[in-house]
Amino acid sequence: MSSETISGPILTSDGIPLKVSLRKAEKRNKIRAFLLVLPLLAFILITFIIPIGDMLARSVDDRYINTVFPKTFEVFKKWDKQDLPPEEVYETMFFEINAAEGYKIGKSSTRMNYSKSGWKSLIKKSQRKFKRIKEGPYKEQMIKIDKRWGDPFYWKALGEMVDPTTMGYYLNAVDLKYDSNKEIIAQPENRRIYNHTWIKTFKVSLLVTLFTLMLGYPIAYLLATLPLKYSNLLMICVLLPFWTSLLVRTVAWMIILQQNGVFNNLMVIAGLIADENRWKLMYNETGTIIVMTQILLPFMVLPLYSVMKTISPSYMKAALNLGASPLHAFWKVYMPNSLPGISAGGLLVFIIAIGYFITPELVGGKDGQMIGNWIAYHLKTTLNWGLCAALGSILLAVMLVFYWVYNKIIGVENIKLG
């Protein structure tokens, strides 16, 4: 140590303490870095966070109908749910239907129809004919206009709407519903479609993930280990279908796999199957799985390849040199090293598969439709966006659960894209 001792803080050349100067510089850097990511942040906020928030809100939102029938619901709550509601409920309903302006009634009746089919036309017809009713009592006259006003099931179905938030859409999404007392009960058997579809969706997605892994692993291995001139060719073979339109590939599979298609014809000609026992490989779940596997294969191969490329061949050589059998060496050395690629590819394929829509729509036929198809149906045809949002939110939640489980078992830090 020199004889000079440092007293006081270290100063920079312009006399500011070094600490302060460093802090300033760091702050400037931070702001700059923040400004650089700001566009991305805004982008994510606008295109991702807000829509997801909107979706979550829609899945429980029942405010609209409560702004149209506030008084009716008020008196409705007092009804004991036996037989028919009292005159008071009819009367307020009558006046609130007449008082609603613009499209309020149209929109409300669509909402009411979700809980009991028939509300839509009942309201539409009544709105026209209510002009004839000059004075009370209203109950009798309304039932005279349409006998459905005298059907307790219509009234009981209103029960699930009387609060501004509802779990009704979520219940619907798992084949449950509210009864008139807001107790949760099962849907009638012939409408239980969603649980079945959920299970199918996960089953198909898992199978597709598994098959892409089984098919993709050897391909990726070859890609990573073959000499460049072969592996480039192989890479083109992987990428070419990847660049081909999804619809073209789907339709090509239809031609190959249908019962009078190329594959079955070849099998019959080869005498492997009888003409009358052609395999049903298309327009069912099998078709969906086959076509999705082919379409999603590159999403498995590419991450696997990029990870395998980084595994040094000397590892395997060393293992073999030390006396491991090839299988043992693969299992103990190569496979663990490729695990990050398997994870990345597996998650990628699974996430894409779980929300798949167009392929199941085209080749799913009898029993190959997935939850995405029902979301699309309600989004476009019934306009039941609350149910769409509930289905979508469940899909999101399940995804997060999968991710969490995955993180517990394998660890997120093990995902690698190269």
Partner 1 sequence: MIKTIKLAFLGLISMAFVGSAYADITFVSWGGAYTASQQKAYIDTWSKGSGVTVENYNGGLGEVKAQVEANNVTWDVVDVLPDQAITGCDEGLFLKVDQSHFIDDMVVKPVSECISPQIFWSYVAFYDPAAFPGKKPKTIKDFFDVKKFPGKRGIHTWANALIEMALVADGVKPSKVYDVMSSDGGIDRAFKKLDTIKDHVVFWSAGSKPLELVSSGEVVMSLAYNGRIGAAILQEGKNFNYIWDGQVLEQEYLVVVKGTKNEAEAREFVKHASTAESLALQAKYIPYGPMRSSSIDIIKKGEPYFNTGVDVLPHMPNTPKRLRRSVIADPFWWADNGAEVSERFGVWKGN
Q: Which residues bind partner 1 (CB under 8 A)?
A: 102-103, 105-107, 109-110, 113-114, 117-121, 124, 190-193, 196-197, 200, 258-261, 283, 361-362, 364-367, 369, 374, 377-385
Cβ atoms 253, 291 nearer than 8 A: yes
**Cβ nearer to partner 1, comparing 349 with 362:** 362
**Cβ nearer to partner 1, comparing 51 with 326:** 51
> What is d(CA 342, CA 230) in angstroms, rounded to the nearest whole number?
23
Q: What are phi and psi of 176, to 5 degrees?
A: -120, 170
Report DSSP letters for 97-166, one per residue: HHH--TTHHHHHHHHHHHHSTTHHHHHHHHHHHGGG--SS-HHHHHHHH-GGGG-HHHHHHGGGGSSSB-
What b/e sequence results for 339-372 when a residue is b if at least 16 CB atoms lie within 10 Å of its CB, and e otherwise? bbbbbbbbbbbbebbbbbbebbbbbbbeebbbbb
**Cβ nearer to partner 1, comparing 383 with 398:** 383
Label residue 175 left, alpha or beta by phi (over 0 means left) and psi (-120 to 50 means alpha). Answer: left
> What is d(CA 330, CA 326) in angstroms, rounded to the nearest whole number?
6
Cβ atoms within 10 Å of 279's Cβ, excluding its own: 14
The β-bridge relationship of strands 184-186 and 176-178 is antiparallel
**Cβ nearer to partner 1, comparing 221 with 357:** 357
CB of 122 to partner 1, least distance (A): 8
CB of 169 to partner 1, least distance (A): 13
**Cβ nearer to partner 1, comparing 81 with 192:** 192
Cβ atoms 301, 216 nearer than 8 A: yes
**Cβ nearer to partner 1, comparing 93 with 105:** 105
- Strand stretches in 210-364, DSSP E: none
The token pair at 288 is 């969906």
The token pair at 280 is 């049903």
CB of 77 to partner 1, least distance (A): 26
**Cβ nearer to partner 1, comparing 141 with 258:** 258
**Cβ nearer to partner 1, comparing 58 with 309:** 58
> What is d(CA 341, CA 147) in angstroms, rounded to the nearest whole number?
64
The token pair at 406 is 């995955």
> What is d(CA 92, CA 84) in angstroms, rounded to the nearest whole number?
15
CB of 253 to partner 1, least distance (A): 13
CB of 360 to partner 1, least distance (A): 10
Helix, strand counts (H, E) of the chain: 21, 2
CB of 267 to partner 1, least distance (A): 16
> What is d(CA 94, CA 278) in angstroms, rounded to the nearest whole number?
62
**Cβ nearer to partner 1, comparing 101 with 135:** 101
CB of 38 to partner 1, least distance (A): 22
Q: Which of 70, 55, 275, 83 is nearest to 173 (CA)?
A: 55
CB of 133 to partner 1, least distance (A): 21
CB of 365 to partner 1, least distance (A): 4
**Cβ nearer to partner 1, comparing 290 with 362:** 362
CB of 145 to partner 1, least distance (A): 16
